[in-house]
Amino acid sequence: MKTALTIALAGNPNAGKTTLFNHLTGARQHVGNYPGVTVEQKEGCCLHKSKGLRVVDLPGTYSLTAYSVEELVARDFIINEKPDVVVDVVDASNLERNLYLSCQFLELGVPLIIALNMVDVAEKRGLAINTEELGQRLGVTVVPIIARTGKGVDELLDAVLRLSEATTTPQPAFLRYGSDVDETLADMREDLELLDELRAIYPQRWLGVKLLENDEQIVQKAQATSPEAAKRLLARCDEVANHLQHTLGIYPEAMIADHRYGYIKSVMHKGVVTRKFVGDRLYTSDRIDKVVTHRLLGPLIMALVLFALYTFTFSYSTVMVDWLASFFSLINTTIDGLLPDGPVKSMLISGVVDGMGGVMGFVPIIMFMFFGIAVLEDSGYLARVAFMMDRIFHFFGLHGSSVMPFIVSGGIAGGCAVPGVMATRTLRSPKERLATLLTVPFMNCGAKLPVLTLLIGTFFSAHQARYMFLATLLAWIVALCAAKLLRMTVLRGESTPFVMELPPYRFPTIKGLFIHTWERTWQYMKKAGTVILGISILIWAMMTYPGLSDQDLAHFDAARQQAEKTYTSGSEELNQALGKIDADQALMRLKHSYGGRIGVAFEQFSQYAGIDWRTNIALIGGFAAKEVIISTLGTAYSLGEVDSDDSTSLSDRLAKDSSWNPVKALAVMVFIMFYAPCFVTVVCIAKEAGSWKWAAFSMAFNTFFAFIMAVGVYQLGALIYL
Amino acid sequence: MAKINLRKMAINQSGTIVAVKVGGELGRRIREMGLVPGAAITIKQRAPLNDPVALRVLDGTLTLRNNEADYIEVEVDLGP
């Protein structure tokens, strides 16, 4: 026996589906992924009249074709999981367009209830809708609701319970698609009947319509079920397609769509919708748009808004970041006091606690960013940003919505690629999204800045500001060109159409904002967090093991004893001498570790870019987090501990070193800007792209790319200046 | 009445769609948003770089790139 009823929420994006879902389930929701795809599956539960309801929020779609993952996911869920009731959330203020999807549910013959949302908005625009008449003509129950306030939701659930108890199974609606298509459908009947397996799942006529629409999934399934019948059916489809193309110049799928709209028109005709006043009904939204997307004012306002989002994300979160940092350093001090020196303590401090600190350190930033983005998205402004920026980004094979991830990742120097990669979720076009999330790590994030500052300050101190600006500019150019390159090679393909809705401006609901923010943050902690912790321990081990041999240790101990004998105890000279020995030991230990050995071994390649083994080791350390490059470089130059915020000692050392010169510094800077992203970003790329393959690609592609660039800079520079 | 390409329409100009001559994903996207023959549209805005274009159809606002608008033929209303 089934204990709970399953209701699926379907509907157009912006129809208020998620608002209704949040109202129904509150915080009792769970976000997962549909198997194999990156589309989110949101599920929750609620009680109505002591009945448990399982509510599934399907991705928002305008249609039920096989063109996008979202639509396939929604369709497959409804067909395979057979929810007890499908609640189609329809925006009353844009009824005709929304009914296009409802019409397709009717053709599929699912147990349907229409939740006519935002009746208040429609009313304000002078639209009165006769819900009973509408329901009668469509043959389904229509319940007017206001999801924001919860008005009408009880009645909706009553209707859901009533429908779930009904004994009759819903029949697919019989729509006419014009004489040519209808005749073809009649001709196809015999062959369709041969597709027994498919007919058990899908309505027969619907199968015919989908074949005529050239629906990839259904065509494939038909071919797999009965190649013979499929061949005849497809030939018949081709025939009518050619005929329609010759006589009317249109495709069968256009014909079918036209007739769906015709059906909707006939349903809405006379008495369903009354317009109290004619004229433009989106008055307020249009007036805002006149200013906000204005030719000159628009970009200016956008720059301000994006800068505000950036400041909000990175400045306001620092308080929490600092709290977390001091919390974790407190734990470290405690462990330091409790445990004896040794590998366990080292692993706990440098591996586990620092790793956890690394995971948690991003949490406030991610939280603030998603809150900011949720405000922009829910209010409708994000769609305007995409609208204004699309011309530029489309040129590089991206999408107008790509601008946000780029800004967050460091488009304004000092961002972070981790929230940047996560921000690509606002993109709905798969290829553009992948290209965006693979190129955002090229931007100058906050962790690369101290490294760049160090090198610029040391070698180009006269033009610090100018070089910093050039670095930002270079990052943008390289990232966009790399995106173009990817879109012409591995992510080749037509750009996703920019047929996008500019929803009317709305005030976001506080509940929606918080649920949205929390959900994203929690997902990061749960999914990425555990992997990040594991890798963090791995990197620690790589930079620590194997330790020095007994012989080497004895050598350093002897040197220490020697120093203690030579200088008076407590004197400045003794401290200096001991410090020097500690630093030398740290260097030797680093060079001896696996990471160090790799760095030394790679010198034979990196020398073409002028990069020596010490820098190599630092770059390997930078995989943990880019600011680690400074401290590792400090150790590699046996300077002992170097703080990334105050690296004067390292700067002096590099300035004096004869192997360093401005050309080498430039090559190293270019390499640091573009080589493999830090592993936290890599993990996020894997999670967002849905496959580790892309994460591996990102590491290999970026490192190779950065190497070529660095070699180019070094060889060219050497030719000109040296 | 004159039949012109949607790309050539001016801001605030209105008209009725006559034909949408594209299939595949783009055609499907255009149609599912209500841009079908017979639909009344009004050009609302152009992006700062003149592309894409925002237009009113049914009770909503849509965006479209110029090269996507090329497939849509419109019969424009004469003067206001």
- Mark whether A579 and A605 lie in a shared domain: no
**Over 90: is that where the pLDDT of A92 sits?**
yes
* pLDDT tens digit sequence for A646-685: 777 888 889 988 889 999 999 999 999 999 999 999 999 9
How many Cβ atoms from other residues are within 10 Å of residue A260's Cβ?
23
Domain membership of residue A623 (yes or no) is: yes
Predicted local confidence at residue A146, as pLDDT: 95
**Averaged pLDDT, A538-561:** 87
**Residue in A61, A244, A432, A499 to test binding to B, most B beta-carbons within 10 Å:** A499
To the nearest whole Å, the CA of A248 is away from the closest chain B CA by: 10
Domain boundary among A492, A508, A524: A508
Predicted local confidence at residue A444, as pLDDT: 92
How many Cβ atoms from other residues are within 10 Å of residue A571's Cβ?
10
Predicted local confidence at residue B43, as pLDDT: 93
| Distant-in-sequence, close-in-space partners of A338: CB < 8 Å, separation ≥ 6 | none
Domain membership of residue A607 (yes or no) is: yes
CB contact under 8 A, A258 and B37: yes
Residue A94, amino acid = N
Assigned token pair, A267 = 């349903």
First to last CA, chain A: 82
What are the residue ranges in chain B where pLDDT is below 50? none
Domain membership of residue A337 (yes or no) is: no
Q: What is the ipTM of this complex?
A: 0.94
- Mark whether A616 and A690 lie in a shared domain: yes
* pLDDT tens digit sequence for A276-331: 766 555 678 888 998 999 989 999 999 999 889 888 888 888 888 889 888 988 99
Nearest by CB: A298 against B48, B52, B68: B48
**Residue in B45, B49, B64 to test binding to A, most A beta-carbons within 10 Å:** B45
* pLDDT tens digit sequence for A2-13: 568 999 999 998
Q: Where does the pLDDT of residue A573 fall: very low under 50, low under 70, confident under 90, or very high at 90 and above?
A: confident
Q: Which domain covers residue A218, as residue numbers? A: 179-275
Predicted local confidence at residue A486, as pLDDT: 95
* pLDDT tens digit sequence for A348-365: 887 788 777 877 888 888
**Averaged pLDDT, A457-461:** 89
Distance in angstroms (rounded) separating the CA atoms of residues B61 and A547: 66
- Mark whether A152 and A20 lie in a shared domain: yes
Q: Is A584 exposed, middle or buried (0-12, 13-18, 19+ CB in 10 A)?
A: middle
Q: Which domains does chain B have, with CATH numbers?
A: 2-76 (2.30.30.90)
Q: Which residue of A has its CA nearest to B42?
A: A280
Please report, for chain A, how many H helices and E strands are present, in that order.
36, 10
- Mark whether A488 and A567 lie in a shared domain: no
CA-nearest of A396, A480, A448, A423 to A677 is A448
Domain membership of residue A530 (yes or no) is: no
Predicted local confidence at residue A34, as pLDDT: 67
Predicted local confidence at residue A160, as pLDDT: 94
pTM here is 0.85
Nearest by CB: B54 against A63, A387, A504: A387
- Mark whether A87 and A199 lie in a shared domain: no
Predicted local confidence at residue A31, as pLDDT: 76
Predicted local confidence at residue B1, as pLDDT: 63
Predicted local confidence at residue A12, as pLDDT: 94
Assigned token pair, A577 = 């001498």
Domain membership of residue A286 (yes or no) is: no
**Averaged pLDDT, A54-66:** 91
Q: What is the per-residue burial (b if ≥16 Cβ within 10 Å, else e) of B22-40? A: bbeebbbbbbbbbbbbebe
- Mark whether A42 and A82 lie in a shared domain: yes
- Mark whether A310 and A404 lie in a shared domain: yes
Domain boundary among A122, A143, A165: A165
Predicted local confidence at residue A277, as pLDDT: 67
- Higher model confidence: residue A125 or residue A485? A485
**Over 80: is that where the pLDDT of A472 sits?**
yes
- Higher model confidence: residue A38 or residue B67? B67
Nearest by CB: A254 against B31, B49, B51: B31
- Mark whether A459 and A561 lie in a shared domain: no
- Whichever domain contains A153, its CATH number is 3.40.50.300
**Over 90: is that where the pLDDT of A641 sits?**
no
Domain membership of residue A526 (yes or no) is: no
Which secondary-structure segment (H or E) carries A707? helix A692-721
Number of domains in chain A: 5
Nearest by CB: B44 against A101, A286, A383: A286
**Over 50: is that where the pLDDT of A1 sits?**
no
Domain membership of residue A520 (yes or no) is: no
Q: Which residue of A has its CA nearest to B11?
A: A290
CA-nearest of A409, A442, A469, A450 to A629 is A450
CB contact under 8 A, A97 and B51: no
* pLDDT tens digit sequence for A367-385: 898 899 889 988 999 899 9
Q: Which residue of A has its CA nearest to B51?
A: A391
Which residues of chain A make contact with B43, given a CB cutoff of 8 A?
none
To the nearest whole Å, the CA of B6 is away from the closest chain A CA by: 14
- Mark whether A97 and A19 lie in a shared domain: yes
Q: Where does the pLDDT of residue A412 fall: very low under 50, low under 70, confident under 90, or very high at 90 and above?
A: confident
- Mark whether A456 and A309 lie in a shared domain: yes
Q: Average pLDDT over chain A, rounded to whole?
A: 89
* pLDDT tens digit sequence for A474-511: 999 999 999 999 999 999 988 888 998 999 998 998 98
**Over 80: is that where the pLDDT of A433 sits?**
yes
Distance in angstroms (rounded) separating the CA atoms of residues A192 and A208: 7
- Mark whether A29 and A161 lie in a shared domain: yes
- Mark whether A366 and A486 lie in a shared domain: yes
Distance in angstroms (rounded) separating the CA atoms of residues A46 and A58: 17
Domain membership of residue A248 (yes or no) is: yes
